[in-house]
Amino acid sequence: MLWLALHFPSLSLEVFSRGSAAAGPLAVSEKLGNRSCVTACNEAASACGIRPGMPVAAAQALAAALIVRARDPVAEQESLAGLAAWAGRFTPAVSLQLPDGLLLEIGSCLSLHRGLDNLLGQVRSGLSEMGYAFTHACAPTPHGAWLLALAGMETAIRASAQLEQMLAALPVRLLAQPQEILASLEMVGAHTLGDCLRLPRAGVARRFGQALLNELDRALGRLPEAREFFMPPPSFERRLELPAQVHEAEALLFAARRLLPELEGFLNLRQAGVQELELICCHEDVPDTVLKLGFVQPTRAVDRMLLLLRETLGRTRLSAPVHTIMLNARHIVPLAASSADMFQDGVEEGDVNLLLERLRIRLGKEAVHGIAPAADHRPEQASRHCEAGDDAASPGNLQRPLWLLPKPLPCQEGQLALKTGPERIESGWWDGRDVARDYYVAQGRNGSRLWVYCDRVSGAWFVHGLFA
């Protein structure tokens, strides 16, 4: 087995900061005893001299424009769950390492991703796109990989002997033991994991507890470690708070791009797609703005979602500034995996559907529909509207024009040059709108091709349709 550990050291800060490309000084505070202290800060705050552990009052004195947010453990866990869903695109064996990490079993899927280097490249690219800072490490044991990632040693170890050598150099403060145990270890001169391993096991158990030995054994693979794997929820709902209020809808695209890769990973893990997305823009004093994206067919392609989202945001005017966005995909549709065509013809699959989706955004959903045949010979009753992209959609009788006039226009027979026909239609007696007509394809004086008919009752001529 091979485990990949991902540690997110700035997760408490990124739940507030990753929604914007350029944020001012930002710090996260936590109450320690009777005072609030800074636990994390961004680069802009660090440039002002603000450091973790500093009292909030002192930090605000150094930077008047400093934004201070109270740490939000619930938002951190939601972000970690979103990352676990995203990581499902690489392997279904994803485990949460609370409060700020993930463990992925990747040994069984390396060939699928064309080797470890390529998989790690995809991980780095995806996490950077979503706005997360991280450290990673690979090892044969999950806890061993986690300790290496905590130490910032971005390495890949496959052999157990090499793992023991690397772990031996790590400081004991990385262990998940009570602070009094860690302090006692350092007091006896055990500053590294190697120092702990050289101590007599019986003495360590008596003085520091069996839990310390168990953790060391799990890291080295001497003791099995059962991991609970992440199970995705039935629907996707992710929330992202913005560092500052946004006044223009198009500026929300950056924040939305942070959430779309999480949705793609979630859908890959569920082997599903979405046919409708909701982007909810939250305002302070007015109702939320809800933007809906509809797809002709279920999809999980981020590029497709991003293109339609850009179109939608470009045509949206916000009623008030936005402080938070939410991306919801409540209706998940099973989506079978498809193989790529070995002989590409240069036309992107789904171009027609993409055109329909963009037309819906620009013209409105009700203005874009398909045409399906109906069981009736009368031209005005021979077709019906259907959902665009519906399998039932059909061009119908190609000998007839698709463009029928709302009401037939009278004309003179002498003004027309009849080319083909007649097509006799006698129908409709059952609903009281019976017709008796002879239809012809004719050419008008300006060269246009017309669909005309002669009413067999009155003998009058009418233009009923036009050919493109």
Q: How many CB atoms lie within 10 A of CB 340?
A: 6
Q: Burial level of 244, CB count in 10 A (0-12/13-18/19+)?
A: middle
Question: Using 50, 70 and 90 to split pLDDT, how confident is the model at 22?
Answer: low
Question: Using 50, 70 and 90 to split pLDDT, how confident is the model at 281?
Answer: very high
Residue type present at position 179:
Q
In three-state secondary structure terms, 84 is: helix
CB-based contacts of 334-341 (< 8 A; 24+ apart in sequence): 334/271, 334/272, 334/273, 335/267, 335/271, 335/272, 335/273, 335/298, 335/299, 335/300, 336/271, 337/271
Q: Which helix (H) or strand (E) holds 12?
A: helix 11-17
Q: Using alpha carbons only, what angle is made at residue 301 by residues 134 and 97, rounded to the nearest 5 degrees?
A: 30
Beta bridge partners of 156: 138
| Tens of pLDDT, residues 409-433 | 998 877 788 888 788 998 888 888 8
Residue type present at position 166:
M
- The distance of Cα 285 from the centroid of its chain, to the nearest Å, equals 28
Residues in CB range of 135: below 8 A, 6 or more apart: 6, 7, 9, 149, 150, 152, 154
- The distance of Cα 315 from the centroid of its chain, to the nearest Å, equals 21
What is the Cα–Cα distance from 23 to 4, expressed in whole angstroms? 31
Domains of the chain: 3-24+65-71+107-220 (no CATH), 236-334 (3.30.1490.100), 396-466 (no CATH)
Question: Using 50, 70 and 90 to split pLDDT, how confident is the model at 346?
Answer: very low
Determine the average pLDDT of the residues in 329-339: 74
Question: Using 50, 70 and 90 to split pLDDT, how confident is the model at 394?
Answer: low
Q: Which pLDDT does position 95 carry in this prediction?
A: 95
Q: Is the pLDDT of residue 373 over 80?
A: no
Q: Which pLDDT does position 323 carry in this prediction?
A: 92
Q: Is the pLDDT of residue 349 over 50?
A: no
In three-state secondary structure terms, 29 is: strand
Question: What beta strand segments (E) does 227-382 contain?
Answer: 236-246, 272-282, 289-299, 322-329, 332-334, 370-373
pTM of whole model > 0.85? no
Contact yes or no for 418/442 (Cβ under 8 A):
yes
Contact yes or no for 13/40 (Cβ under 8 A):
yes
Beta bridge partners of 403: 466
In the chain, pLDDT over 90 holds for what percent of residues? Answer: 53
Higher local confidence (pLDDT), 79 or 373 = 79
Question: Using 50, 70 and 90 to split pLDDT, how confident is the model at 342?
Answer: very low
The pLDDT mean for the chain works out to: 87
Question: Using 50, 70 and 90 to split pLDDT, how confident is the model at 343?
Answer: very low
What is the Cα–Cα distance from 273 to 308, expressed in whole angstroms? 16
Q: Is the pLDDT of residue 273 over 70?
A: yes
Classify the C-alpha dihedral 246-250-251-257 as positive or negative.
Answer: positive
Question: Using 50, 70 and 90 to split pLDDT, how confident is the model at 238?
Answer: very high
Residue in 217, 219, 91, 94 with CA at minimum distance from that of residue 157 = 219
| Low-confidence winner among 53-67, 98-112, 372-386 (lowest mean pLDDT) | 372-386
Q: Is the pLDDT of residue 36 over 80?
A: yes
Q: Cα dist. 432→382, 411, 428, 435 in Å?
A: 16, 25, 7, 9
Q: Cα dist. 282→43, 240, 325, 403, 436 in Å?
A: 27, 10, 6, 44, 60
Q: Which pLDDT does position 396 carry in this prediction?
A: 55
With both helix axes pointing from N to C terminus, report the angle between 142-150 and 210-220 in degrees, rounded to the nearest 10.
Answer: 100
Tokens 């953790």 sit on residue: 215
Q: Tell how many helices (H) and how many strands (E) occur in the chain.
A: 14, 19
Tokens 């800074």 sit on residue: 38
Q: Give the tokens for residue 142.
A: 């999950």
Question: What beta strand segments (E) does 135-201 contain?
Answer: 135-139
